[in-house]
Amino acid sequence: MSRICAICGKTPHTGNRIVRHGLAKYKGGIGLHTTAVTPRRFLPNLHRVHALVDGTPRTIDVCAACIKAGRVVKAPARKAAPEAQA
């Protein structure tokens, strides 16, 4: 599954996890020092929803921001199949 929103195109972004050690100067230390920088990814908050796409119900991956903003038209619930008469 690609981590891309079907509506706004939001994708993963990269960043760093920075580890700092030491005592801050205002607390009497010599300042914080960076001891490790680890790459990381910020993933979009995707949800798989049943939505109407061009008038037909489909399952799409949409970010939570698009759902909250009302950009997704939810598909109507399917009717239950009539039971077979015996």
Give the residue-averaged pLDDT of 28-57: 96
pLDDT, position 73: 92
Q: Does a structural domain hold residue 2?
A: no
pLDDT per position as a tens digit, 48-85:
999 999 999 999 999 999 999 999 999 988 888 887 66
- Give residue-wise pLDDT tens across range 3-28: 999 999 999 999 999 999 999 999 99
Q: Tell the residue number behind the tokens 């399917």, with chain if given.
A: 78
Residue 83 pLDDT? 77
- Residue 85 has a pLDDT of 67
Residue 37 lies in a domain: yes
The domain tally of the chain equals 1
Q: Is the CB of residue 59 less than 8 Å from the CB of residue 74? A: no
Residue 21's domain comprises: 13-69
